[in-house]
A and B are shown apart, each in its own frame.
Chain A
Amino acid sequence: MSASPQTVQKSGAAGSAIFAGSDSRKYNYYEPKARKATHYEDMTVDVQPDPERYLLQDWIISFPDGTPTYSKTWTKALSSNWHQFRAVDQEWERTHYQRQSTICGMVQGVIENARKSGAPKRFDAAWVKVLQDHLGAYKHAEFGLGTSLMQAQRYGYTQMINNATLTNSSYKLRFSQDLTLYLSEIGMDLGNFDHTAGKTHWLEDPIWQGTRRAIEAIMGATDYLEQYLATNLVFEPLVGELFRSGFIMQMAASQGDFATPSVVAAAEADYERNLANTVELAHMLTHDKEHGAHNTKLFNGWIAHHGALAKEAAANLQPIWSQPRVKVSSFDDAQERAHNRIQTICSQVGLKAP
């Protein structure tokens, strides 16, 4: 046996030899959004391929009707360049786990300290029932949005859109579990706390049926962008924030409850990031040179449809504002803030608020 001897390089380290391409140390196959590529872009862009970019052999498996693995037809929206979108929150796995883990630690710390100090027992009795029945019901709305977005993350035409949808789903599902476990744990200190009451109210209480209808309309939408936009541009400002900030976070302190606002606050911070991503995508599509008018009309239709459901849902929630013993904010004030919020959001992306 013999073979030609090989000249073996002594070091495999960068810079140990100079030759063509030896200094090419950046991903060079896409255009960064800014002058320099971000780490998020390097982790994300073009991982989901596209026959219009580098996919030489096209998609190689199709659904039985001929639809390929990914298709632009999965939304009625049109884009002259789907690859232009970048998530404002720039999340990739490490930043996502860091943030989620930090929130989990913060929430657990709040719960532990509140329970150690005996706080739940000092919550006003009427407030405990509000938490049991209504925060308990609301956790299902968050879960519905989480599973809806889990579905939506299959359909987007680029990795950037799908990953932003995926992290949004992850945040919603975490928050729905945060609420579930929070209520379970303070319930242990409260004797007759019924942890099943929330689901009963969600399924049966007329107060919550508008919200459930609005959530199921998002879950049942077959256009992934409709699911994403209806969640963040419509439901969140008109119902989600209205209930979380406009009710729970404003009322709680006056009922002797310092813990619940901290748990709920995490969702508001989540939403700010998810809203920023959604606004960026919606703005890109409503300002598309070729398809902006089409998309604006389409999105206005979605907003009108889901807006009507969300407004009805919000109106049905009004009686909850009367249930705490100490009343420090009114439904009308909260609703006005919600309407101002959606006006601002829609004007930013060139859409008509419902």
Chain B
Amino acid sequence: MSETLTLNKIVNQKGISTAEAANRVSDLGWTPSYVQEAMTFPTDYKISRVPRDPMKQVLRSYFPMQEEKDNRVYGALDAALRGDMFRNVEPRWVEWMKLFLAIIPFPEISAARSMAMVGRLAPGEELRTGFTMQMVDEFRHSTIQMNLKKWYMENYIDPAGFDITEAAFGKCYATTIGRQFAEGFLTGDAITAANIYLTVVAETAFTNTLFVAMPSEAARNGDYALPTVFLSVQSDESRHIGNGHSMLMAMIHDPSNHQLLERDLKYAFWQNHAIVDAAIGTFIEYGTTNRDKNKESYAELWHRWIYEDYYRTYMLPLEKYGIKIHHDDVAEAWDRIVKKNYVHKTAQFFSVGWSFNFWRIEAQTEKDFEWFEHKYPGWYAEFGDYWKWYAKLSKPGEKVIAFNSDVGYVYPHRCWSCMVPCLIREDFCCDEVDGKVYTYCSEGCRWTHKVAFAAEYEGRATPAMGRFSGRREWEECYHGWDHADALVDLGFVRSDGKTLVPQPHLRFEQKDMWTLDHVRGNTLGSPLRAFRALKPGAERDAAVAEYRKGFTINPCN
């Protein structure tokens, strides 16, 4: 056989190029002339340029590629079981997956739905092909994550919390924070939601911490399933980032869009920071047992993925188009993480609220303390005693920590905008919208509710912009309820009808488990309702000043 003769040369036949195939596929669309398509999801933006599809992929190559990715994922899940992964997995880590995986399938499928909203907005058909593939991708992500969760439920030592997952998603205060993230993708102005908030900010910036940094931590905790699923998910994100950027470029040349772009980049960045950093920062820093001092902390990961990768290489270049970038917000988000302990305060709040959750949270230990102090100097002075209290109060029969005045923790206000509590006390603020008082965790969140989500922005009518709605303060839903009754209503009680789903430890003996009787007698209250009851003016100002002073955890001996 000749050295130059290959099988490929024998069987190969001339086909059309990928670029030409993509061109012909993009020519499938036309402008209707008999019946016009209704613009059912309006936007205040103008899209005058035809966006280009940077990926140039057709479904003929897409489906086999995705099937191959799936085969790798499901093969890896089988391999993990055969390798007895759960014998060595860290329960501290898997418990947090009860929260994470309760949230994430809905944002994913919301992203699929949102492709309908941008699909009709862009002139031309080229990018619609990209949106089509993103729609099917997001369907993939949502159901592959439901499958992973089921797999944990079937194989992990404590399935309680996984078994009620979508019901818990609807009821838990923590999952509502994730719903703010998801509903932001598909409600209100179609471009604000499905382009800027979803693809330009959430997918381009924050999926790196969600789907890249977090899987690394999973692997350090003996969980090989999460990395295989989520890195496969992340491999689809480059397509979505391309869609988002292409749409952005179709709008950015029109100066009449700049005002709205600046609003939406500010809103989307701040809210992604407030929500994603709170949740993922906690999972990575507090859900791990790995305390290798050479690994990156969440702050270091944030600097790499959000500051260097996104802010410097994606956001800053937008300035050359005349877009004002909110450098101060990026700097403030960084300060909140490294100077104001945003992630640590979120983890502290999650643990204070363990008895309203549907997963277990164990105390941080001395080994953890050393790592935190190494990575965040000063951490021990602020949080050391708190976690000692938490460990001490983890035994059933102790006064539950959320209602235990010995600790010194003051239950926080809820932010009306990001829905994370107002944990950085000195940044707490309030304002009136449509005659009602609301509380916020930060100036950025106050601005989001009062200024961005309104019918007018800087004198310009914004008739397509969404509005905040619903019962956004979770505590108000159970105001005046007994703690035990609330847990029954939430469905966070195990199959014996009395043992709680959440536990403040990882001890799996029945004698160590908290029951309804251990929490009965505590009454829940709404901080916002109490705040609104204060007289406007001096009384309310004094309450704000007092809240901003913060609290001191009492020594735990």
Contact = CB atoms under 8 A, between A and B. Distances in A.
A binds B: yes
Given A1-B369, A47-B106, A12 B160 contact: no
A318 to B, nearest CB: 20
A326 B109 CA distance: 50
A2 B391 CA distance: 11
A219 B135 contact: no
Interface in A1-17: 1-9, 11-17
B154 A25 contact: yes
Interface stretch (A147-155, A272-280, A336-344, A345-353): A147-155
Interface residues of A, number: 109
| A-B complex: 4 closest residue pairs judged by Cβ atoms | A54-B170, A220-B35, A21-B160, A21-B494
B86 A14 contact: yes
B154 A184 contact: no
9 contacts: A1-B384, A3-B387, A12-B157, A15-B157, A29-B163, A43-B147, A61-B466, A100-B67, A151-B40
A216 B74 CA distance: 41
B470 interface: yes
A202 B30 contact: yes
B464 A3 contact: no
A153 B150 CA distance: 25
B12 to A, nearest CB: 10
Given A12-B86, A14-B155, A180-B28, A19 B508 contact: yes
Interface in A146-186: 146-147, 150-155, 159, 162-163, 166-167, 169-170, 173-174, 176-178, 180-181, 184-185
A60 B179 contact: yes
Contacts of A73: none
Nearest to B473: A57
Interface of A: 1-9, 11-30, 39, 42-50, 53-64, 66, 68-69, 92-94, 96-98, 100-101, 103-105, 107-108, 112, 115-116, 139-140, 143, 146-147, 150-155, 159, 162-163, 166-167, 169-170, 173-174, 176-178, 180-181, 184-185, 188, 195, 199, 202-203, 212-213, 216-217, 219-220, 222
Contact of A29 (B91, B154, B167, B184): B167
Contacts of A23: 159, 495
Interface in B362-376: 362-366, 369-370, 373
B64 A101 contact: yes
Nearest to B368: A3
Given A1-B369, A43-B147, A63-B188, A14 B154 contact: yes
A246 B365 CA distance: 73
A151 B120 contact: yes
A92 B143 contact: yes
Given A3-B391, A60-B472, A154-B186, A181 B364 contact: no
A50 B167 CA distance: 10
B309 interface: no
Interface in B23-39: 24-25, 27-30, 32-38
Contacts of B61: 104
B28 A219 contact: no
Contacts of A6: 362-363, 365, 391, 505-506
B58 interface: yes
Given A69-B183, A188-B14, A60 B63 contact: no
B109 A48 contact: yes
A100 B469 contact: no
B523 interface: no
Given A57-B471, A57-B472, A181-B21, A166 B94 contact: no
A60 B147 contact: no
B63 A63 contact: no
B158 A94 contact: no
Given A3-B388, A6-B365, A64 B466 contact: yes
Given A11-B157, A20-B510, A47-B106, A3 B35 contact: no
Interface string B59-73: 111011011001000
B528 interface: no
Interface stretch (B111-119, B241-249, B346-354, B433-441): B111-119
B115 to A, nearest CB: 7
B37 A219 contact: yes
B467 interface: yes
A12 B156 contact: yes
A153 B116 contact: yes
Nearest to A16: B157
Contacts of B128: 147
Given A1-B366, A57-B477, 11 more contacts: A19-B499, A20-B160, A29-B167, A48-B109, A56-B474, A57-B472, A100-B63, A104-B60, A147-B29, A219-B37, A220-B37
A324 B159 CA distance: 64
Given A2-B388, A181-B21, A21 B158 contact: yes
A99 B85 CA distance: 31
Contact of B156 (A14, A48, A220): A14
B364 to A, nearest CB: 7
A21 B358 CA distance: 12
Contacts of B469: 58-62, 66, 68
B16 A181 contact: yes
A21 to B, nearest CB: 4
Interface of B: 11, 13-16, 20-21, 24-25, 27-30, 32-38, 40-41, 58-61, 63-64, 66-67, 70, 74, 84, 86-91, 94, 105-106, 109, 112-117, 119-120, 128, 131-132, 135-136, 139-144, 146-147, 150, 153-160, 163-171, 176, 179-180, 183-184, 186-188, 222, 362-366, 369-370, 373, 380, 384, 387-388, 391-392, 394, 419, 455, 463-472, 474, 477, 490-491, 494-496, 498-499, 501, 505-510, 512-513
B466 A199 contact: no
A185 B114 CA distance: 34
Contacts of A49: 106, 166, 169-170, 179
B185 to A, nearest CB: 10
Contact of A20 (B391, B468, B494): B494
A100 B165 CA distance: 30
B107 to A, nearest CB: 10
A47 B135 contact: no
A180 B24 contact: yes
Contacts of A43: 143, 146-147, 150
B170 A203 contact: no
Contact of A181 (B58, B159, B176, B471): B58
Given A3-B363, A16-B157, A170-B136, A56 B471 contact: yes
A159 to B, nearest CB: 7
A174 B59 contact: yes
Contacts of A1: 366, 369-370, 373, 380, 384
Nearest to B367: A3
B153 A25 contact: yes
A216 B494 contact: no
A138 B180 CA distance: 42
Contacts of B154: 14, 25
Contact of A150 (B13, B119, B160, B186): B119
Contacts of B91: 9, 12
Contact of B509 (A11, A19, A107, A213): A19
A299 B127 CA distance: 34
Most buried by A among B30, B154, B369: B30
